[in-house]
Amino acid sequence: MKRKGRLLLVFSVIAVLVVLFSQCMDTSKSAKATETTIAGAKTCVQCHKDISNAYLKNVHYAASAPIESNNQINLGADYVYEYDENLKVAIEKRDSGTFQVVYFKGKEELAKRFDIAIGAGKNAYTYASWRGDILSQLPLSFFKQINGWANSPGFRTSAPDFGRIIESRCLECHSSFIESKNKNTNSLVVSREMLKSSLVYGIDCERCHGPAGKHVEFHLKNPDEKEAKFMVLYKTLTRKQRVDACGVCHSGNDAELLKSTFSFKPGDDLKQYYAHLSPSSEESQLDVHGQQNLMLEGSKCFTKSNSLECSTCHSPHDQIKGSLTLYSKKCISCHSSIKHTEKTLANAMVKTNCIDCHMPLKPSKVISFQQAGQSEVSPYMLRSHRIAVY
Ligand code: HEC
Ligand code: HEC
Ligand code: HEC
Ligand code: HEC
Ligand code: HEC
Ligand code: HEC
Ligand code: HEC
């Protein structure tokens, strides 16, 4: 009896090992998707056709793009920006692309190719050029407000600057992914370099929804399953989590960063990524550029209601631009009776356009631009998300 029992044990151990071993072989044959496996935006189309098509017109989709794929610089005649009578930067189309070319006393000094457009061009495009794996910003940008070229924001106006490195931080908000690595330039200095070939342009589906490898794998195998599996459901998140999922890129770029936001997934807390983020109801504390999240969170509409969030007013996939009348309907859905004074009521906008009075366009404190030959800087106007009486 004893011996039989031992034999049985030995057999069952072998059986378990065989099963385990064959499973190991299996997984090594077809790599199984994990929580962090990215499927890629192309794979979503087959099952989410309408959303994927609508999304092609969304600004997030075009938040960065390679130059060859669209016409961001197809802007008519060549242009020359004069720093002074000797020093100029010209925009020139050549066989190998379009360049920003520096001329000193009529002689070409340097030419840098437009490789990437950053921004969807709603208000502006700024451009970047690769040298090896180093990306630098070009000194001239295009501004819709003047429908023309001007000095890139923050660049000096005495001479063109081609040495402004674009780090992965820009791309954390304007692209879906780029890999960075440390590079020892000498024994003391360590610099971060980006791997050019790893750049995924634009903000794609999984940047907002999180890695979907397992979701895709499951639904391909189970075509009859109608409930989403292995996918964070926005409707199950708290309001704070939903607003954070937008705020990861809409809280501004001056907060101290604790780790790369490329790893952010819906449901995560922004505090894991930023050291200090403080919503404020004071206009002086925040800037209309990039800080929509903090401005909204400081507004009474947000603090005194439980439901106001970004998606109350913005649809995440469609072309976001709505008319101000449509946005105003959202205001009226909460404010059916308003105590306006006679003076305010006399204004013709009062029934149909709440936005221009309560979310006015304001000049950014951090971004402005300068046109050639003008001493005045031009303001960069954006919509304030501090909903209030101005
Ligand atoms: C093989 C089919 C299939 C593919 C491919 C697929 N999905 Fe899905 N997905 C589904 C099904 C089925 C559902 C559940 C029904 C629905 O909501 O449409 C779903 C639901 C979702 C939801 C909604 C969750 C909710 O809030 O209810 C999201 C978000 C989503 N998918 C994202 C993606 C992304 C991103 C990709 C591409 C990386 C993708 N899916 C690729 C089948 C697929
Ligand atoms: C990965 C970063 C990122 C995330 C996440 C993100 N955004 Fe954005 N968003 C951007 C960038 C960058 C722009 C500017 C795009 C441009 O014009 O180049 C932008 C632009 C916008 C605009 C302006 C659209 C227009 O037509 O002018 C709206 C509205 C907006 N985002 C809402 C949202 C909402 C709502 C969410 C959450 C559901 C969200 N964003 C999540 C980065 C992000
Ligand atoms: C924290 C996220 C974040 C970072 C980092 C960031 N941006 Fe943006 N950027 C935005 C958002 C959000 C908008 C759109 C609304 C706004 O201006 O507030 C925007 C708008 C722009 C626009 C105008 C786009 C348009 O359609 O009009 C340009 C150009 C731009 N950014 C370039 C850059 C460059 C270059 C860098 C790096 C030096 C950078 N951004 C870093 C979030 C970011
Ligand atoms: C800017 C962030 C953002 C991007 C980019 C984005 N989504 Fe969404 N998506 C959301 C949010 C937020 C919701 C929840 C909307 C709500 O509950 O009001 C959502 C909801 C969904 C849903 C379920 C609800 C519905 O409308 O059917 C699906 C499916 C989905 N997204 C698929 C996609 C696919 C596919 C892509 C890429 C083509 C994509 N999303 C890109 C933010 C985004
Ligand atoms: C989800 C509901 C909701 C939406 C949508 C909403 N609000 Fe409010 N709003 C509120 C609440 C709640 C308060 C606080 C009222 C109070 O203090 O009694 C408020 C307060 C205000 C105030 C007074 C602010 C102050 O500082 O005293 C103004 C002005 C206002 N809202 C305008 C708007 C406008 C304009 C819109 C559309 C752009 C809007 N609201 C959208 C809920 C909302
Ligand atoms: C009460 C409505 C409302 C809410 C809530 C709201 N927005 Fe907006 N947002 C607007 C309006 C109105 C505009 C201006 C649209 C226009 O001019 O066409 C706008 C414009 C924007 C722009 C473009 C800025 C510009 O001036 O070009 C961005 C980016 C943006 N919203 C992001 C967000 C984010 C992120 C959230 C959540 C933190 C949010 N919004 C919440 C109403 C809202
Ligand atoms: C011409 C500018 C203007 C327009 C347009 C306007 N408001 Fe006002 N709103 C004001 C001013 C100014 C106040 C402060 C009270 C006053 O002087 O009338 C105010 C006060 C408010 C308040 C706080 C008073 C209260 O009832 O609690 C709310 C809420 C509000 N407005 C919502 C709206 C909504 C919603 C719309 C669009 C349907 C709108 N406003 C359109 C200028 C405007």
Q: Are 268 and 244 in contact (CB under 8 A)?
A: yes
Q: Cα 352–355–387 angle (5° rounding)? A: 135
**pLDDT reading at 7 higher than 80:** no
For the chain, percent of residues with pLDDT exceeding 90: 66
Question: How does 129-152 read in b/e, with b if 16+ C-beta sit within 10 Å?
Answer: bbeeeebbbbbbbbbeeeeebbbb
pLDDT in tens, 175-189: 999 998 877 666 666
pLDDT in tens, 204-262: 999 999 999 999 999 999 999 999 999 999 999 999 999 999 999 999 888 889 999 99
- Both structure tokens of 142: 């295009």
Cβ of residue 385 lying under 6 Å from some atom of ligand 2: no
- Both structure tokens of 324: 């101000």
Q: Round to whole Å and give the CA distance between 211 and 43.
A: 12
Predicted confidence band at 277 (pLDDT cuts at 50, 70, 90)?
Answer: confident
Cβ of residue 364 lying under 6 Å from some atom of ligand 3: no
By alpha-carbon position, which residue is closest to atom 3 of ligand 4? 208
- The per-residue pLDDT for 340 is 95
**pLDDT reading at 11 higher than 80:** no
280 versus 176: the higher-pLDDT residue is 176
**pLDDT reading at 49 higher than 50:** yes
Dist. CA 137 → ligand 7 center (Å):
43
Q: Which of 20-29, 59-68, 304-313 has the lowest mean pLDDT?
A: 20-29
Torsion on CA atoms 86, 134, 166, 151, rounded to nearest 10: 20
- The per-residue pLDDT for 47 is 97
**pLDDT reading at 72 higher than 80:** no
Predicted confidence band at 25 (pLDDT cuts at 50, 70, 90)?
Answer: very low
**Ligand 1 pocket test: which of 219, 221, 232, 242 has the largest number of ligand atoms within 8 Å of its C-beta?**
219
- Both structure tokens of 28: 């090594």
Q: Which atom of ligand 2 is nearest to the CA of 60?
A: 15
- The per-residue pLDDT for 19 is 39
**pLDDT reading at 65 higher than 70:** yes
**pLDDT reading at 21 higher than 50:** no
Ligand nearest to the CA of 262: 2
- Both structure tokens of 163: 């040495």
21 versus 58: the higher-pLDDT residue is 58
Contacts of 376 (CB under 8 A, 6+ apart): 370
Give me the mean pLDDT over the 255-281 stretch.
Answer: 91
- The per-residue pLDDT for 282 is 82
Cβ of residue 117 lying under 6 Å from some atom of ligand 2: no
345 versus 7: the higher-pLDDT residue is 345
Q: How many CB atoms lie within 10 A of CB 230?
A: 16
Predicted confidence band at 115 (pLDDT cuts at 50, 70, 90)?
Answer: very high
pLDDT in tens, 150-166: 999 989 889 999 999 99
